[in-house]
Structure 1
Amino acid sequence: MSTPMRQLVSLASRALAAQGHDDLIWGHASVRDPDGRGVWIKAAEWGLGEVTPDRVHLVDDAGQVLSGAGARHSEYPIHTEIMAARPDVGAVVHTHPPYAVALAATGQPLRPVSHAANMFVPPEVPRFTLTADLITTPELGKQVAAELGDHRALFLVNHGIVTVGPDLRAATVAAIVLERACHQQLLTHSFGGWPSWSDPAESLAKRANIYSERAVNAVWDHLVRQLDNAAG
């Protein structure tokens, strides 16, 4: 049976795939269960672009599938432990977008060379370097949550990214904007020399001017319209 949570995770997953976050069958988005039972997350063994509402299930904090079918993602602790540590977070995205992975691997910090990065910096986007392996235990999930702190995004170096938000719309838009920011920085640097970027005061002003809650929701609506248009 389809529920609003299943529909939302399906939409977010397909929007991420359409924006370059698809990585074969890997990557996942989740939303906090409104009744406190755990997280609604895509089932494993499906690509982000293949996620339909019936390929989303409810997973509790211990990793048990409470509702729905299919194999559970082994990295569920990324989602459950961040939400346990951050009551303000209603949704988590973890993907392996190529430009974000590449930029994080260089050791360079994300710089506001364009509008996109101003969503995140200042302060600097934190980097999780304890392991580049999968986050498959609650202990590792807690360490990821600790490194994320109160930030909106985290680089899992040599692995992927994590973004969070009060809802899945915001977390999804953040993941897409972060990948665009990393792409723009690498593109700028590829032309030689080092890019210029906004100073902290200008970055914070741009964040307020560009990334209001209304604007983020409008971006989400745009992403959904693109999915509808692609479906014909």
Structure 2
Amino acid sequence: MSADLSSADLSSAELCELVSLSSRILGGADQGDFIWGHGSARDPGGRGIWIKESGIGLAEVGPDRVHLVSREGEVLEGSQGPRHIEYPIHTEIMAARPDVGGVVHTHSPHAIALAAAGVDLLPVSHAATHFVPPQVPRFTETANLIRTRELGASLAATLAGSNAVFLVNHGIVTVGPDLQTATVSALLLEAAAQQQLLTMGFGGATSWSDDEEALAKREIIYSPKALHTVWDHLVRRLG
């Protein structure tokens, strides 16, 4: 599925395919954490979010394991499998951010470690410039699961206008105008955290791009078109 299509252009079947592709890309990048983690696409009719069912790993998700979940948590269409209890992450962010068409929540290990250590994400690599400056916000109200609309709304307020947020001692959330962009962003955030850990491990005088250079790199390297081209590459790699 080409990244040039937004969720507003897609049928229910195509949305199921999109969520399946995103899930398998994330799973193939070792962001699966067994059966946990999920990505969602906004329903073009305003009925809620398309998200994988609970109880299966990201790498296992086919289109028949995706369903439409309302803001109230009701499964409206698609798979009748169990619903993820953290659906409010997705529904409340989408309610607060009309510009967001896709949300990803995973437990990517290096990003979790960086946030738990209280360390700022630094643009020691290209990947980090997709997010900073300004700093990636940190949600610290709870490290437990986001199971209520109230917690989801609080997380959305912490995210504010950013494209990512650290759930400290829990995981990450990335967002984008579509699920394709949010998926690529999740991979970039983990890559940035891992590169920073490798850099600091050498123990030398660490350098990183200043704000002006980081913003310039973001515009050149991580344009919407470039992020969609990365998505197409990742889909091809699925075979």
Q: What's the TM-score, normalizing by structure 1?
A: 0.97
Residue 55 of structure 2 is matched in structure 1 by 45
SS of structure 1 residue aligned to 2:30: helix
Match of 1:62 among 30, 53, 72: 72
SS of structure 2 residue aligned to 1:21: coil
How far off its partner does 1:20 sit? Answer: 1.9
How far off its partner does 1:191 sit? Answer: 1.4
Q: Which amino acid aligns with 1:128?
A: F
Residue 99 of structure 1 is matched in structure 2 by 110
Quick check: 1:27 aligned with 2:43?
no
How far off its partner does 1:159 sit? Answer: 0.3
Residue 182 of structure 2 is matched in structure 1 by 171
Match of 2:159 among 148, 167, 170: 148
Residue 222 of structure 1 is matched in structure 2 by 233
- Cα deviation, 1:97-128, whole Å, max 9, x if unaligned, reads 11101111110010000000000000000000
- Cα deviation, 1:34-93, whole Å, max 9, x if unaligned, reads 111000000000100000001000000000000121000000000000000000000100
Runs of 4+ more than 4 Å apart: none
Match of 2:92 among 81, 87, 96: 81
User: Is the contact between residue 185 and residue 195 of structure 1 (CA under 8 Å) also seen in structure 2?
Assistant: no
Match of 1:180 among 183, 191, 195: 191
Q: Which amino acid aligns with 1:225?
A: R
How far off its partner does 1:162 sit? Answer: 0.2
Quick check: 1:120 aligned with 2:104?
no
SS of structure 1 residue aligned to 2:185: helix
Quick check: 1:162 aligned with 2:162?
no
Q: Which amino acid aligns with 2:93?
A: I
Distance 2:29 2:12 in 1: 25
Q: What's the TM-score, normalizing by structure 2?
A: 0.94
Distance 1:194 1:107 in 2: 20
How far off its partner does 1:195 sit? Answer: 2.2
Residue 3 of structure 2 is matched in structure 1 by none
Distance 1:55 1:195 in 2: 45
Q: Which runs of 5+ in 2 are unaligned?
A: 1-10
How far off its partner does 1:196 sit? Answer: 1.1
Question: 1:46/1:120 Cα in 2 relative to 1: closer, same or farther (>3 Å)?
Answer: same
How far off its partner does 1:190 sit? Answer: 1.2
Percentage of pairs with the same residue: 64
User: Is the contact between residue 83 and residue 89 of structure 1 (CA under 8 Å) also seen in structure 2?
Assistant: yes
User: Is the contact between residue 2 and residue 54 of structure 1 (CA under 8 Å) also seen in structure 2?
Assistant: no
Q: Which runs of 5+ in 1 are unaligned?
A: none
SS of structure 1 residue aligned to 2:73: coil
Distance 1:194 1:121 in 2: 20
SS of structure 2 residue aligned to 1:123: coil
Distance 1:42 1:49 in 2: 11
